Each structure stands twice: as C-alpha cells, then as structure tokens.
Amino acid sequence: MNAISRPPCALTIAGSDSGGGAGIQADLKTFAAHRVHGLSAIAALTAQHTRGVTAVEVPPVAFLRAQIDACFDDFAIGAVKLGMLGTSTVIDAVADALAHYAPPHLVLDPVMVATSGARLLEPAALEALRTRLLPMATVITPNLPEAELLIGRPLRNVTDMHEALDALHRLGAQAVLLKGGHLPGDGEVVDLLSDGARVVEFRHARLSLEAHGTGCTLASAVAAQLCRGRGLVEACAAAGDYVHAVLRGGYTPGRGEVVVLDHFGAAAHD
C-alpha cells in the first residue's frame, strides 16, 4: 500500500481492554490484519487483565459523540463495529450518531458479560440495545448467553439455536450470526447465520482452550470483510475461519490461563 492510497476504513465503537486481548485493542488488531484502516471511539474504559475485570469507567457521552463525529468528518467509513456500550445513555448516543451518519454496514456484537463473568451491560440498557441498535444492524453476532438475555429463554442445543434466530428476527434483527461455542461437546462448534430467508451453518473443530476476545474479533473480522466488499455470507465465513486461525496460534501473555489471540501470526499467512 503506497503513501497516497486510501485504504478501506472501519470504525469500532466499544470498550478499551487494558490487557490488550479484547475490546478496542482486539478490534484494531483485527482490522490491521485484514488490511483495513482502523478507527476507534472509546465508549468505556476497563481495568482488566487475563484474570478478570477490576474496574469500569464510562466517559461522558458528549466526548464519545465527539470521537464519532471526528471519525466520520475525515474518513470514508465502510463499516462500523459496535462492542461494549454499557449504559442506556451511551447506547442512545451511539444510536443517534449512527442514525445521522448511516454507515453502509453496521455489525453489532451485543457485549453483556466478559469471559471472566463480569457484567458489562447495565440491566436497564438491555431494552435500549434491543430497540435502538438491534434493528439498525446489518448483522448481530451474539453468543448463546447474550442471545438468551436478548430473547429471554435458555438455549441448550442446535434446535434451540434455530428457534432463537426466529425470535431475534421478530425483535427486528436483519441478520443474525449466532455463535454456538457455549454448547457442550468435544467435536465441532456450529455457528448459524440467518438473513431471515435462509440459514447457513459454519462448522469448525472445537479447540480445548479458554480464550479472550473471540467475540470482539469475530465481529470486527465481519466488519472488515464487509468493508472490503464481500457479501454477508462470504464475510461471515471468512471471519469464522480467521477466528479459528488466531485461536490456533493463541498465547498466554499474562499470569492467567486465558489465551490471547495471535492476530499478527494469522495476518502473516493472509
């Protein structure tokens, strides 16, 4: 890429992970690995490492809006990825900004609970996420616990996952990439993509490790692929393959046993 080229640009609006494994940090690494220029608007600050989240701070929403405005003012943004937003006030501010700018693609990762179990979304914010952001998104990428909170019922098997897709569409979701990694089993992980007309399955071998930042990375990879012009099915398939690759190369930089994803090892072979 030469000095005068204008690469595709993607914006992440999410929380910062001081441990570098998830959130804004994972998003920007993922964008870079896909040769996409990454922009960021920080919606939350977390004090966290590979053993958990110890504190969360939410910047003023006026400053969040200023970050978003600055990005849209100077860059041609092809896709926006949403991660940890935390409060209904933040969600409303982000929804207002996105309604104003109308980016071509919006990928919503409805972050609610950290890998460590820490709650990252206030209970009162759940309805704002359902009603304001979910219908705006090109695709939402919940894991099973997040989908359970969105639809209000447990999901125990692949049949339940198919029923959850219908329920999420009834809430207004345009497309859903439902991640099946939380289902028990030692064989394959099955993710389901539905656009309301058809369901596509993506299968990967289950890796026996506890990893950090996979949800952020998958949503960011989908956004990067959409930003580069791929269709939704192709974007989600490629994003799933990317997550599997960075998981295989994962490492443990902290004192905890949680694996952090190897974005640059995967990028080297892209």
Q: Are 43 and 15 in contact (CB under 8 A)?
A: yes
- Average pLDDT score, the chain: 91
- The answer, yes or no, to whether residue 71 has pLDDT greater than 90, is yes
Residue 120 pLDDT exceeds 70: no
List of domains in the chain? 9-268 (3.40.1190.20)
Quickly state the pLDDT bin for 139 (edges 50, 70, 90). very high
Residue 184 is predicted with a pLDDT of 79
- In 3-state terms, what secondary structure has residue 262? coil
Whose tokens are 């109308």? That residue is 102
Taking 60 as the threshold, does the pLDDT of residue 63 lie above it? yes
Q: Which two tokens stand for residue 47?
A: 């004090």
Instruction: Tell whether the model's pLDDT for residue 141 goes beyond 70.
Output: yes
**Integer Cα distance of 242 and 140 in angstroms:** 18
Q: Three-state DSSP class for 77?
A: strand
- Angle at Cα 240 formed by Cα 113 and Cα 82, nearest 5°? 45
Nearest alpha carbon to residue 226 among 105, 109, 108, 103: 105
Residue 41: CB partners within 8 Å, gap ≥ 6? 11, 12, 13, 64, 67, 68, 71
- Which residues have CB under 8 Å from 236's CB, separation 6+? 139, 177, 191, 193, 200, 202, 222, 225
Tokens 């993509």 — which residue?
193
CA distances (Å), origin 252, targets 11, 116, 209, 210: 27, 15, 11, 10
Q: Is the pLDDT of residue 78 over 60?
A: yes
Check pLDDT > 80 for residue 117: no
The better pLDDT of the pair 91, 1 is held by 91
Given pLDDT bands bounded at 50, 70 and 90, which one contains residue 114?
A: low
The mean per-residue pLDDT over the stretch 85-91 comes to 93
Position 122 scores a pLDDT of 77
What's the pLDDT band for 53 if we cut at 50, 70, 90?
confident
| Residue range 210-269, pLDDT digits in tens | 888 999 999 999 999 999 999 999 999 999 999 999 989 888 898 988 888 999 877 644
Please state, in angstroms and rounded to a whole number, the distance separating the CA atoms of residues 147 and 168.
Answer: 8
- pLDDT in the model for residue 269: 46
pLDDT > 70? residue 102: yes
Q: Which of 174, 39, 26, 11 is nearest to 98 (CA)?
A: 11
Q: What angle do CA 90, 95, 100 make, to 5 degrees?
A: 130
| Residue 74 structure tokens | 């100077």
- Name the pLDDT band for 26 (thresholds 50, 70, 90): very high
- Locate tokens 């930089």: which residue? 253
Model pLDDT, residue 116:
57
Separation between Cα atoms, residue 123 and residue 119, nearest integer Å:
9
Q: Which of 92-96, 184-188, 197-201 has the lowest mean pLDDT?
A: 184-188
Tell me the pLDDT band of 270, cut-offs 50, 70 and 90. Answer: very low
